[in-house]
Amino acid sequence: MRTFATAMVMLATLGLAVAASAREVQKSDVASLEAARDTVAWEAQNTKGTPRHELKVEEQRLQNLIDTLKHGGTVDPAEVDRALHRAR
């Protein structure tokens, strides 16, 4: 019985560590996405016509990802990578 209790404590500790690590990754993702959004917004301000519209659409995509992460939602890491790549 003691072994079971020890194992449960270890699993709970591991779970908390993984959750904390995931929050840190999300914070860095949010910071990267916010920087990309700001860059895209600046480019949109200094562009005219169809390219401006495309940049505004990309800005909104980035904002949606940011909002999802800030509200505790999950986002596919590949989608974050694609968004950051598109924003370059």
pLDDT digits (tens, 9 = 90+) for 38-83: 999 999 999 999 999 999 999 999 999 999 999 999 899 999 999 9
Examine residue 53 and state whether it is found in any structural domain, yes or no. Answer: yes
Question: Which pLDDT belongs to residue 20?
Answer: 41
- 29 and 55 in contact (C-beta within 8 Å)? no
- Judge contact between 28 and 2, C-beta under 8 A: no
Query: Is residue 79 in a domain?
Result: yes
Domain hosting residue 44, numbered range: 23-87
* Domain membership flag for residue 71: yes
Task: Please report which confidence band the pLDDT of residue 87 belongs to, taking 50, 70 and 90 as the band edges.
Answer: confident
Pairwise CA distance, residues 53 & 30, whole Å: 23
Question: 4 lies in a domain?
Answer: no
User: Is residue 33 one of the residues assigned to a domain?
Assistant: yes
What angle in degrees, to the nearest 10, is found between the helix axes of 50-70 and 77-87? 150
Q: For the chain, what is the domain count?
A: 1
Residue with tokens 């005219």: 48
Q: Domain for residue 56, yes or no?
A: yes
